[in-house]
């Protein structure tokens, strides 16, 4: 009765996760920015995950991904 789930202890100093802008995750195939969490996790958009494997894809200019 005395435990209120709305009153949880605050995180200890120094353990709080820093707030920073979410890095842009791009599809490893078409390099489009991904927004869906599962797509970002896979680094592969659904549009490419569902698409059949492309044949002969030449990647010449590949941008460096910052922050990884
Ligand atoms: Zn894609």
pLDDT of residue 42: 92
Q: Return the structure tokens found at 44.
A: 């592969």
pLDDT 10s digits, 41-59: 999 998 898 777 666 666 6
DSSP 8-class letter at 15: T
Cβ contacts of 39 within 8 Å, gap of 6 or more: 25, 27, 45, 46, 49
- pTM above 0.85? no
CA–centroid distance, 19 to ligand 1, in Å, is 28
CA–centroid distance, 28 to ligand 1, in Å, is 7
Domain boundaries in the chain? 22-52
CA–centroid distance, 46 to ligand 1, in Å, is 7
């Amino acid at each position: 009765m005395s435990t209120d789930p709305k009153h949880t202890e605050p995180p200890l100093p120094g353990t709080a996760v820093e707030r920073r802008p979410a890095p842009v995750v791009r599809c490893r195939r078409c390099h489009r920015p991904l927004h869906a969490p599962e797509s970002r996790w896979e680094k592969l958009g659904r549009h490419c995950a569902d698409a059949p494997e492309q044949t002969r894809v030449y990647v010449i200019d590949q941008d460096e991904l910052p922050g990884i």
